[in-house]
Each structure stands twice: as structure tokens, then as C-alpha cells.
Amino acid sequence: MASKKIDRSLTLELARVTERAAVAAAKLIGRGDEKAADQAAVDAMRRELNALNIDGEVVIGEGERDEAPMLYIGEKVGTGDGPKVDIALDPLEGTTLTAKGMGNALAVVAMAEGGSLLNAPDVYMDKIAIGGGYPANTVDLDADPADNVKAVAKAKGVDVGLVNVCILDRPRHAEMIGKVRAAGARVTLISDGDIAGVIHCTDPSTGIDIYMGTGGAPEGVLAAAALRCTGGQMQGRLVTTDEGQKERARKMGIEDFDRKYTAEEMASGDVVLSATGVTTGSMLTGIVQQGNEIWTDTLLMRSSTGTIRWIKARHTDPDKFHLND
């Protein structure tokens, strides 16, 4: 059966959802309180999602692992008077970045036809991703990092030394980082925010060619949604190290723990994704407030049309953001 397309009016409405969450979180930039920043983003995103004419269900939300305020998995959002859709979200990707006043924090939400997004449990996922324009199967999750770097260099027609790999700066990635550098490629380490890391592959201006490493599985689904919109490639595999994690996966319908998922398998059908900058990064400018004016910078993507919009907006009515509620 052919996939139903998301109504295009909802595409722009989704930008408002991330704008509201980003502005709410921005009040707490540099204040050292991760949970308060996350709570502000969650509350704003929930309020705006519930104003949309959709019959939505959160299939990728905030997990219980860090006792976050959560837009929880299974939560119903929207007025109920509209299409049945899956929602994947991270109201504040980069809570630590926001609390410390560091760059690349985002508010992110994706929408797809109901039943189209992978219900990923709150476990880790091994990931590799590249942007659009490459031959199919250019990289492989099971290949050596050096081989993936060389494959991308060959596909681009450049020296390996011009390939830039984005990796989350964690002790678990030390061996991978060493192999990439030994192959002659460059490594860009990020302290947090692996959704942003993957999305960087979609924008040549960031200089990132490959994202690889282990991060959250829910974040992997959001990243896959972005790559679906840009024609990029991604592979991911759940990391389940104990029976408790496997049981959580089984409850979400996952039985094959060794399965290697593609972007299309994690986010199928028509997908719309919106990301608004909270703090300024390599791709989006953070929230700027000058008097009663608030400036936002949003990336809006849609898979069915391949359209990517950068929306720089000036808001002159700060009351609509409910900043004093």
C-alpha cells in the first residue's frame, strides 16, 4: 500500500513546535541546570504538539534512564482531529551543552505516518552515517573504520586526509578514533549531541563527511529521519548487553538483536523533521533575544519532496512563547 504523505501545512507547523521548545530552553543557557532546561523544552514542546490537528503518538521520546521530565513513549499528542502520525522527539538535544553554554544544542522533532518509525528502546545503538550523493552501500557498520574512511574518500574522489569523521568524545570510542586517525583522516570530536552529529553529514558546509560510533538508539531514529529527507545513508544496530535491555526491546516488538537497520527501516514513508538551534553550532544559530524581539534559526526537511528549508525568523510577540508562565 502506498504511503500517505504528511499534509504540507503540518510541515510548517512542526517548525513552530521546535521554535517554541528552543526558545523555552534558551532561558536556561549557561545556568548549570540540565533538568530545568530539559523541563522547559518539554513543557513548551508538549503544549505546541497538543495544539496540532493530529492524532499523534510519541514513539521515540525521552527515556527513564536519567529520570528526565519526559514526553514519554506512548503519550498521545495533538487534538485527535487529524491524521494518525508517529512522533519522534528530543525537546532538548544537548542538555549538558545548554547548561554549560556550549554550542550545537537543538530542539528536534520528526513526524511520520502512523506505524512508520522504529520503536527503539532506550538502549545504545552502533551507528554509521554519511550524507547524500554516494553510491549505495558506500559504508558498512561491520567494516573496519579505516575501510569506511577510504571508501568515502574514493567515492568523493579525494585524498583520505580530506575526509572528516565526527565521533562522540567518549572513552568507548578510543580505538575507533585511533583507527580513523591512523588511516590518515581527520576526526572532529563532539562532547554531546549525536543527533546533531549525524545531521552534520547532510550539510556540506559543516565539513563533516561521516558520523560513526555508539550513541542512544532513540536518537538514532531521529537521525535516520533526517537522512531520509536528504538521501543520506545510515546503518544502526542495537546494543543490548544484559537481559533487562533485551526485555525492553522485546516489549517494543524487537526480537533480532543483531539486526542491522538502514535509515529506511528506521524511518519509512513520508517523514518531516524540524530542528531549531538553542545554542549556536556549526549548522544553526542559537536563540537570540534583543528586547522584545526573539530570533530563531530552524532546519526543516521533508522526505517525499526532498525539500530542505532554513527558516530564520524574527518574532516580535514574545508573549506567544509563554516565557512568564
pLDDT band of residue 29 (cuts 50, 70, 90) is very high
Amino acid 249: pLDDT: 85
* Strand 124-130, strand 106-113: pairing: unpaired
What's the pLDDT band for 128 if we cut at 50, 70, 90? very high
Supply the pLDDT for residue 307.
92
pLDDT tens-place string over residues 78-94: 999 999 999 999 999 99
Is 18 in a helix, a strand, or coil? helix
Q: Specify the amino acid at residue 60.
A: I
* Average pLDDT for the chain: 92
Distance CA 316, CA 229 (A): 31
* CA–CA dist 213, 146 (Å, integer): 13
Closest CA to 272 of 97, 21, 80, 56: 56
- CATH level 2 (architecture), domain 8-115+271-321: 2-Layer Sandwich (3.30)
179 forms beta bridges with: none
Report the amino acid identity of residue 176: M
Q: What is the DSSP letter of 245?
A: H
- Give the Å distances, CA to CA, from 216 to 71, 194, 243: 16, 8, 18
Residue 20: the pLDDT is 98
pLDDT above 80: residue 322: yes
pLDDT (average), residues 202-227: 93
pLDDT at 103 exceeding the cut of 90: yes
Is the pLDDT assigned to residue 109 strictly greater than 50?
A: yes
Residue 161 cell numbers, joined = 586526509
Are 134 and 233 in contact by the 8 Å Cβ rule? The answer is yes
Structure-block grid coordinates of residue 318: 514574545
C-alpha cell at 319: 508573549
Q: Can you tell me the distance from the alpha carbon of 127 to that of 235, in angstroms, rounded to the nearest whole number?
A: 6
- Asked whether residue 261 carries a pLDDT value surpassing 80, the answer given is yes
Rounded Cα gap, residues 198 and 195, in angstroms? 5
> How many angstroms separate the CA atoms of 261 and 126, rounded?
10
Q: pLDDT band at 74, cuts 50/70/90? A: confident
Helix H segments across the chain?
Answer: 8-26, 34-49, 95-100, 145-156, 174-182, 194-200, 217-230, 243-251, 263-266
Task: Please report the DSSP string for 151-197 in residue order.
Answer: HHHHHHTS-GGG-EEEEE--GGGHHHHHHHHHTT-EEEEESS-HHHH
Give the pLDDT confidence score for residue 1 in this predicted structure: 42
Residue 65 — pLDDT band, cuts 50, 70, 90?
Answer: very low
pLDDT score of 63: 57
Comparing 14-28, 52-66, 285-299, the range with the smallest average pLDDT is: 52-66
Ordered by start, the domain boundaries in the chain are: 8-115+271-321, 124-266
Q: What is the arithmetic mean of pLDDT over 182-196? A: 93
Question: Is the pLDDT at 21 greater than 50, yes or no?
Answer: yes
Fold entry, domain 124-266: D-Maltodextrin-Binding Protein; domain 2 (3.40.190)
Say if residue 64's pLDDT is above 60: no
Mean pLDDT over 192-210 rounds to: 90
Alpha carbon distance 165, 226 (integer Å): 18
Single pTM value for the model: 0.92
Q: What angle do CA 145, 110, 41 make, to 5 degrees?
A: 100
So what's the pLDDT on residue 67?
47
All 3 cell numbers of residue 262? 538502514
Query: pLDDT value at position 248?
Result: 83
Q: Quick check: 68 pLDDT over 70?
A: no
Q: For residue 323, what pLDDT is reported? A: 82
pLDDT at 66 over 60: no
Assess contact for 232 and 202: CB atoms under 8 A: yes
pLDDT (mean) for 130-146: 96
